[in-house]
Amino acid sequence: MLGVLAGFFVVWFIILVGMFVGRRGILGENARSVLSALTFFVASPALLFETLSKAKLQDVFAAPLLVAAVGAVATAGIYFGIVRFLLKRPLPESLISSMSASLANSANLGIPIAVYVLGSASYVAPLLIFQLAFFTPIFLIALDATTSTHRTTALGFVLMILRNPMIVGSGLGLLVAGTGWQVPALVMEPIHLIGGAAIPAMLLAFGMSLNGSRPLPAAAGRRLDALLASGFKLIVHPLLAYVFARFALGLDSHALFAAVVTSALPTAQNVFVAASRYRTGITVAKDTVLITTVVAVPAMIGVALLLA
């Protein structure tokens, strides 16, 4: 238990450093975007490649992937029913809100949590693969079908998935793991060094993003939606994951803890990107990302105490 709490302390300390650096403007105005681009396009794919190339495929594609899929789909479905049929929100806005309630930040916070708290980035890989390759594209297809501002072909969605650097890094890592090929040390060493930059850069950028935002403006009229989405993401989603993993799949000990912690990750920041693109649900997406981001680490510490 002390090791878990120590892992959370490391993560939160670096986030606080990022907040301080961002508030003082030490690295300049574009530091956050540069760090985010570095992690997304270079460092995180390298880290995922190295981690998954050494993983066992059954550990990635068996129970953890199933828990990630069932937990996210069930959370999104229940929330969609509430916001669409009880709150009477428009269909595109309901889709964005459902993404806010169920789509986890599996990269910027998920990877550091997996490494420092769970012990390996492989624990977040099933969630990351499911979201990037299946869950997010399904939402985007539905948004394309219900709005007139954007239309994307099936080929466009496939290319979008294949061009994602994290999908590429994960896919190549899984290919190496599946074939049993040993990557030469001369090649793996620079990959290891580049991947080592991912976690500190992620957390510093993450801390910078917490400066200057105030959630739940009264004028927007969507306080209930945002609070409900935040509650679903931090409470309902991990609870559903726990019930399914524990009673349907029989997981226990560290495997159960990993499944619940990854489900309790905050809302992914790319939900706000999607809301901005489709010009709907922007307030709910922005507020849910901010609220869950601030509360997520304490919430996951609570999960650790309950499951310890």
44 within 8 A of 107, measured Cβ to Cβ: yes
Q: Residue 153: left if φ>0, alpha if ψ -120 to 50, beta else—which one?
A: beta
Position 274 scores a pLDDT of 85
pLDDT tens readout for residues 275-288: 888 889 988 988 89
Q: Which residue has the higher pLDDT, 19 or 229?
A: 229
pLDDT for res 4: 66
Whether the predicted pLDDT of 213 surpasses 70: no
* Share above pLDDT 90 across residues of the chain, in percent, rounded to a whole number: 36
pLDDT band at residue 149 using 50, 70 and 90 as cut-offs: low
Task: Report pLDDT for 74.
Answer: 97
104: which strand partners? 267
Kindly state the tokens that stand for 300.
């996951």
pLDDT of 209? 76
Residue 11 has a pLDDT of: 80
**What is the pLDDT at residue 208?**
85
Q: What does the block give as tokens for 250?
A: 């029989």
> What domains can be seen in the chain, in order of their start residue?
2-307 (1.20.1530.20)
Residue 21 — very low, low, confident or very high, per pLDDT cuts 50/70/90?
very high
Q: Of 177, 185, 292, whose CA–CA distance to 238 is shortest?
A: 292
* Whole-number pLDDT of residue 260: 93
Averaged over 237-262, what is the pLDDT?
Answer: 94
Task: Provide the pLDDT confidence category of residue 67 given band limits of 50, 70 and 90.
Answer: very high
220 pLDDT tier (thresholds 50, 70, 90): low
| pLDDT reading at 1 higher than 60 | no
CA distance 227 to 167: 31
In the 8-state DSSP scheme, what is residue 266? P
Q: How far apart are CA 267 and CA 131, in angstroms?
A: 12
pLDDT at 143 over 80: yes
Most confident of 26-35, 135-144, 186-195, 298-307: 186-195
**For residue 104, which phi and psi values (nearest 5 degrees)?**
-90, 150
Task: Pick the range with the lowest mean pLDDT from 98-102, 142-146, 168-172.
Answer: 142-146
Q: pTM here?
A: 0.82
Rounded Cα distance between 259 and 68, Å, is 8
User: CB of 81 within 8 A of CB of 228?
Assistant: no
pLDDT of residue 306: 83
**Is residue 216 classed exposed, middle or buried when 0-12, 13-18 and 19+ CB atoms within 10 A define those classes?**
middle
Measure the N-to-C terminal CA separation of the chain; round to a whole number of Å.
Answer: 6
Q: Where are the alpha helices (DSSP H) in the chain?
A: 2-24, 31-38, 44-53, 57-61, 63-81, 91-102, 110-113, 125-130, 136-146, 154-162, 165-179, 185-195, 198-208, 223-231, 237-243, 253-263, 270-278, 282-307
Lookup: tokens for 169 = 């890094």
Long-range contacts of 157-164 (CB under 8 A, 24+ apart): 161/132, 161/133, 161/137, 164/132
